[in-house]
Amino acid sequence: MGSATGEVKAGERIGRYTVVRRLAVGGMAEVYLARHEGPKGFSKLVVIKRVLPGLQQTEKFSAMFLDEGRLAARLAHPGIAQTFELGEHEGGFFLVMEYVAGESLTRVVRRAATDHKPMRPASLLRVPILLLEALDYAHELKGDRGEWLKVVHRDVSPTNVVLTYHGGVKLLDFGIARAAIHEHRTQVGTVKGKGGYMSPEQATAGPVDHRTDLYTVGSLLYLLVTGVGPFDAEPDVFAMMQ
């Protein structure tokens, strides 16, 4: 059982997983580090994402979360964090995802600025190249009948890119991704994503396709080369989008 505030404490369970700690909480969901334990000392760290308790009975948010689960289950690429399971616990849904040991691109760039040690050119270029490979896989993804699913991530921001401790690059969180298989469609006129990295079409709530993700990778390359985002000088998110 969770606490009175809805947060699941360390040692409590979500389904068959034991919570280690809460990692983050957003507007629709919260994310936990958890452990899957089995016989003979088996133990594996996973990440659990679940709908916030106050939204669990809201049809709109549950539909969006199920959309995310259906899409994430189809993605199997070494550059994309894997989703293992969609479960239900205490009346709400949760996703069980791969735990990626590494540092977000945000933290890597900040540390480089603090230490006055910019990334080496070879390492710098490796990040967008591997991201583009992962995105190309997602963009070309086909359904069970061979139909093009038209997947667009829409939030390839520094917090959703992890540089692993083994030299890899992982793209996280297809939570606001758009695809043809979604039952709960994102309407044109609704802006989703992080202001400083969205394409002009996305920032103005226009129709977008896979090219909006390519624009964002370009913005990340700008960040890697200069140490600042392309619109960091703007005073707020609305100025960035303008």
Q: What is the DSSP string of the chain?
A: ---TTSPPPTT-EETTEEEEEEEEE-SSEEEEEEEEE-GGG-EEEEEEEEE-GGGTT-HHHHHHHHHHHHHHHH---TTB--EEEEEEETTEEEEEEE---EEEHHHHHHHHHHHT-PPPHHHHHHHHHHHHHHHHHHHT-B-TTS-B---B-----GGGEEEETTS-EEE---TT-B-TT-SSPPPTT---S-GGG--HHHHTT----THHHHHHHHHHHHHHHHSS-TTTTSSSHHHHH-
Asked about 213 being catalytic, the answer comes back as: no
What pLDDT sits at residue 203? 85
Q: Which of 155, 173, 209, 232 is catalytic?
A: 155
Judge whether residue 164 has pLDDT over 90: yes
pTM given for the model = 0.84
pLDDT tens figures, 104-134: 999 999 999 888 888 888 888 999 999 999 9
Average predicted confidence (pLDDT) for the chain? 85
- Identify the weakest region by mean pLDDT among 119-128, 158-167, 174-183: 174-183
pLDDT tens figures, 180-223: 555 444 444 444 456 678 888 888 888 889 999 999 999 999 99
